[in-house]
Amino acid sequence: MDLHLAPPHGAGPVRFGMTLDEAVAAVSPWGEPRVRTRPNRVLVTVSAACDHVGVEVLLEEENRVTAVELWWPGEGRETSTRVLLEGVGMLRAADVDVFRTPADEVLGRIAAQGWRVHDADGEAPFVAGLSLGFTRRTSQEVPRRLDGLPVCFTSVLVGGEDYYDFRLPR
């Protein structure tokens, strides 16, 4: 299976602006999703797994979907699912599998299309204009660069149009 990241519109079958019921219905084919209400800034989350790829749908504003985060299954788990960053104007070449392609290559391909990658520490780069955020944080045994950072990303978040604007340097 392929899960397509389509910033700033959604990820897989989930689209931004969906209601809670619509989000639950979108991920239900993968199994029974967990719905949690949180008192912090995230009002509601819907969690599911697609062939061991973790999916968390965030409903942060007016109980509408505002972001989707996906996690690599982790150490020792296999999946045939690919998480693809599709060619929505930023990667005109082939789709990129964000969890199997080296992180530096993913970021390089995004930058080559004229997007500014914000990557102060290497662990949590983001692309504000695309509303994409990545992480390499993990305690798992994974291939690492010489500086200790994992070679590939361990999670990716797709947000709505202005999702990362608050993180931009002023």
48-70: pLDDT as tens digits: 888 889 999 999 887 899 999 99
- Identify the helix (H) or strand (E) that includes residue 54: strand 53-61
In tens, the pLDDT along 10-43 reads: 999 999 999 999 999 999 999 889 988 866 666 7
3-state secondary structure of 83: strand
Confidence label for 87 from pLDDT (cuts 50, 70 and 90): low
Instruction: Pull the structure tokens for residue 76.
Output: 């020792």
Listed in sequence order, the residues at least 6 apart from 117 whose beta carbon sits closer than 8 Å to its beta carbon are 107, 110, 111, 125, 126, 127
CA distances for 136 relative to 17, 62, 103, 153, angstroms: 28, 30, 8, 5
This prediction has a pTM of 0.87
Q: What is the CA radius of gyration of the chain?
A: 15
